[in-house]
Homo-oligomer: A and B are copies of this chain.
């Protein structure tokens, strides 16, 4: 099998590998060649020998007739906050330069059991928060790929790898997916274990996935999910099977809600026009709803919990290494230190009310439609990885959120559309998303 192997989807690649028409070695070599000298600065750690050795082992296993997995021989990138024993994990901070974890994260075990090749570690903003990496957007090198999962999103968009793992506490999966023109997914809180991943906010941290097709996104998500008592948020119940969702037909056409939130004023005109066009194309399936009282103030509540917990978890090491903390992060930490326990407890109370609101909401609607970001990717010169404002509510409430690369902005750069689902209904959300993609194609 020849040609542009780096362009294969994970689903295609694994099919060819199991058929014997493609080796993992050839696929991984093609991806390494594609990466070349990594002009977009997506990778924090990449050792071709380690990647190739895994590929060769997966080929040996297949040839021996032993068991193969759903990602057999497919390269996957990991955000550099995910602990790996066999590669350094530096968390995007000089504080952790050269850090070698003693154990792999739970998701690394799940990937190995699925036969995946751990390709390398991708760049993360400093401690998965505000200070950017030097990663550039593969569509325009003057633009940001978004953050905090900057390298993961850029590597998938640049066809370095078909799949990558990221994380989201505010908007760190959905926003870079939007800016890089790929699919991104943040599952329901507790579906994917966070054991062995940098903790920045116990209440808000989620792992998430990137891919160039909806099917690939589901394939990776299903592999990563597991019940793991090592993560207090992990639940002792079956995981939704998102791949089944992709392949399912909705029993009736879905009902989608669109909230007229005040934050829509933050949208760039092209993004606003784009989302309006999507709503129009979907016709009566989308219902425009006034803002419910329960939604007021949630953006602020998210920020309070995020900054308060970030300081709780990390201030000891930050204070000891203040010279290694970026000027971008310092004021955030200083703000977090001033949040009182009472303010934090109030915020947790509002969070609980909001979760109850959404539990009821999703008995009536299949999904909420929302922008993924305020518009096209921001200029790197702005110093920002973009505004995560449209991601804060699903992150706060642990709702599954999916970004689909449906729109193109005025300068030709990608803009994502977000679908948000009910807790533990990740499969239903993928079903709705697949339906929506087909409906929009039919309408076009």
Contact = CB atoms under 8 A, between A and B. Distances in A.
Interface of A: 61, 65-69, 72, 103-104, 109-110, 112-115, 226-229, 236-241, 424-425, 427-428
A168 to B, nearest CB: 21
**So how many copies of this chain end up in the complex?**
2
Most chain B C-beta atoms within 10 Å of own C-beta, residue among A72, A104, A229, A425: A229
Q: Is the interface of A mostly helix, strand, loop or mixed?
A: loop
A237 B67 contact: yes
A12 to B, nearest CB: 19
A103 to B, nearest CB: 7
B113 A240 contact: no
Contacts of A104: 229
A114 B238 contact: yes
B66 A113 contact: no
Contacts of A110: 227
A67 B239 contact: yes
A252 to B, nearest CB: 14
Contact of A425 (B65, B239, B424, B428): B65
Contacts of A227: 109-110, 112-113
A431 to B, nearest CB: 12
A128 to B, nearest CB: 24
Given A228-B109, A229-B103, A237 B61 contact: yes
B239 A113 contact: yes
17 contacts: A61-B238, A65-B425, A65-B428, A66-B237, A66-B238, A67-B240, A68-B238, A69-B237, A103-B229, A104-B229, A109-B228, A109-B229, A109-B236, A110-B227, A112-B236, A113-B237, A115-B237
Nearest to A242: B67
A14 to B, nearest CB: 11
